[in-house]
Amino acid sequence: MARVVVFAFDLNEASQIRRIRSLLQLGHDVQSLAFRRGNMNAGFVPNWANTDLGCVPNESYGKRLLGLVRALRPAYGARRDLKSADVIVARNFDLLILAWLARDFV
């Protein structure tokens, strides 16, 4: 069983939920660090450990960049989980950079 940390661009998004549930069904210990976009499944509550990285709007890269900077604090709070993870999943480059910064530098 692997310890998997998933960085998600929108915890409420259906493909993110399916991906994380698939990892759980395979028997992995999964934790997510996830943003919320608010336009899908607004009432969704995960049944796995999640660190909320805040809300970011769609289609506004400047505000998204600001959200990434703000997410450094909660991501830093999860640094022990990041350092002990066997696998870190990040679907895009900005989430990968956030994971890398939180794990190694912040």
Domains and CATH numbers, the chain: 3-104 (3.40.50)
Does residue 34 contact residue 75 with C-beta atoms inside 8 Å?
A: no
Entry pTM: 0.88
Q: Which tokens is 39 given?
A: 């336009």
3-state secondary structure of 43: coil
Tens of pLDDT, residues 8-41: 999 999 999 999 999 999 999 999 999 998 777 7
Instruction: Compute the distance between CA of residue 82 and CA of residue 85 in angstroms, rounded to an integer.
Output: 5
Alpha-carbon distances, residue 28 vs 39, 82, 87 (angstroms): 29, 15, 10
In the chain, pLDDT over 70 holds for what percent of residues? 97
